[in-house]
Structure 1
C-alpha cells in the first residue's frame, strides 16, 4: 500500500465539503466519488457552485470544511502527490496564443519535471489523440475555439493523470465544435482510463452511460447513473429530472 492512499482508491473522493464566501454559504456538505474510467457530469445551473467546487479541488481556494482526496491522497496533507494526479481544463482559456501547440505543451510538461525528449514525445502522443497531430507547429492563435480546447485537453493529459477536470469546457463553441469535444472526451475517458469530471449547465452533454451529480444552490440534489437520477426524480428525461431537482433553469442547445 502506498503512502497517502489505498491501492483501490477512487480517482476523486469529496466528503462533507462546505465553503462560505463573506459569510454566505456557497457549498454545503457536498459529497461524491469518481472511479477510474468514469465520465461524471457535474450538472447545475449557472451559480450552482460548480466553479467554486473546481477551485477547491485545484486549491485555488482553500478555506473549507470537509475532505478532498485525489487517488487516495488527501489534498491538504499530500498536495504535491494529489496535484500530480489531476489534469485541469479551466473555464477561461489559458494557452499562450503566440506560442505553437508544441511549445505550449512542452512548457507544461517541463513544469511536471519531464525532460525535453519525453516532453516532445508525450506532446505528439496526446495531440494525436485529440486529432490535431498536424498542428504541432501551428501558433495557437491560428486555431479555432474548438481546436484550442482540444489542445488544452491534450495538455491536461500530458502527465497521465488519474483525474481530468473540465469546467464548462464548451462555453463559446459552436454546436458542431461542442458536440465534437464532448464525444472526444468520452472516447478519451475509455482509452486513457482517466476519470473525468465534466461541469456543465447543458443537459444534452449528458450521455446515457454517464454518471451525474446534480448541484444546485451549493448542494448535491442527486447523484448516480442516469437511470438512478430519473428514478430519484420521477422524470422521464434528464431535462425533466433537472427541473424537478433544482430551482434554476437548464439550457438545451440543439
Structure 2
C-alpha cells in the first residue's frame, strides 16, 4: 500500500510497451585474480518489473551491480540495457539507468537543491527543465519546503529518498538500488518501498533491488538468488518457492544457499 508520505504524483510519463528486456545478462562471469566472483550468470528483467536480488555477503551482488553500472568492464558475457550493450554502447545504455548505491553519496555541505541541480547538469538537463523536475519531485515527497536546506539537516530516511529522486531526475527506465534501506527505521523503509512500487506500477519503471531483508519481497516480484557467484534461482516468488520444495521465500532461500535464514523482517 502506498502511504500519503510516499510519492504522490511522480513526474514523467509511462514508458511504451516493449518486448526488449529492461536488463539482460548472458553468460556473465567475473574474477578477481583466481577468485571467481560471478560464474556464468544469465537472467533478464522485463520492462515494468520489480526484481529483487537476494544473496549472502560474497554472493556477487556488488560485483553484479558494478558491471551493470559500467564501473567494471564485462570480461566474459554480455549485458544489455534495453537492447544496448553496456560495453559497446555505454552511453546509450547508461542513459536508461538510475542508480542508488548503498553508501550515501550526497554532499552534506550542499543544499538539497544544489545536490539535485548538479546531478541534472551532468545529464545535460537545462536549468529551467531541471528546476521544474526538482520542484515536482520534492513536492511529491512533501519536502519542497526544505529544498534549500543543507542536506546534513535531513534524517537517514529523508537523505535516501532524495538520493532516489536524484537517480530519477533524468527519467531513467531502469532503476538499480543497492541495499537502499540499510540502517533505516521501519517507517522509513516502508515509505521507500511504497515509493518504488508505485514507480513500477504507475510509470512502468523497471527495478533491480538488492536487499538482505525478506519482508522487502512482495509476492508479485521477480526473485533472483545468487550463491557464491552462481545463479541458483530466478523467477516469480511462488515459482521459486515451489521449485525449492519450500513453503515460504525464507525457507526457499535457506535451501538454495544452504544457510539458515532468520525470521521475516530480519537480515538473511
**TM superposition score normalised by structure 1:** 0.93
How far off its partner does 1:134 sit? Answer: 2.9
Q: What are the within-5 Å matches in structure 2 for residues 146-165 of structure 1?
A: 146-165=157-176
Partner of residue 113, structure 2:
102
2:107 is the counterpart of 1:90: no
Is the aligned partner of 1:79 residue 2:87? Answer: no
How big is each residue's C-alpha offset from its partner over 1:20-54, in whole Å with a ceiling of 9 and x where there is no partner? 00221000111111112110000111221111100
- Which shifted more, 176-185 or 215-224? 176-185
Unaligned runs of 5+ in 2: 1-17
Asked whether 1:13 is paired with 2:24, we answer yes
Q: 1:234 to 1:130 in 2, by over 3 A?
A: farther
Structure 1 gap ranges (5+):
1-6
Among candidates 61, 67, 80, match of residue 56 of structure 1? 67
In the alignment, the residues of structure 2 paired with residue 20 and residue 152 of structure 1 have an alpha-carbon distance, to the nearest angstrom, of 30
Match of 1:36 in 2: 47
Match of 1:234, SS state, is: coil
1:246 matches 2:257: yes
Cross-structure match for 2:183:
172
- 1:126, 1:155 within 8 Å by CA — same for their partners in 2? no
User: 2: CA distance between counterparts of 1:171 and 1:12?
Assistant: 24
Instruction: Give the direction of change, closer, same or farther, for the CA distance of 1:106–1:224 in structure 2 (3 Å limit).
Output: same
CA deviation vs aligned residue, 1:190-242 (integer Å, no higher than 9, x gap): 22211000001111110111111011111111100011111110111110000
**1:214 has 2:225 as partner:** yes
Contact 2:251 2:261 in 1 (8 A): no
1:249: Cα distance to partner? 4.7
Q: 1:185 to 1:85 in 2, by over 3 A?
A: same
Aligned length: 248
8 Å CA contact 2:112–2:150 kept in 1: the answer is yes
2:29–2:77: 8 Å Cα contact kept in structure 1? Answer: yes
Q: Supply the distance in 1 between the matched residues of 2:261 and 2:28 (Cα, whole angstroms).
A: 24
134-143 or 217-226, larger mean C-alpha shift: 134-143
In the alignment, structure 1 residue 181 sits paired with structure 2 residue 196: no
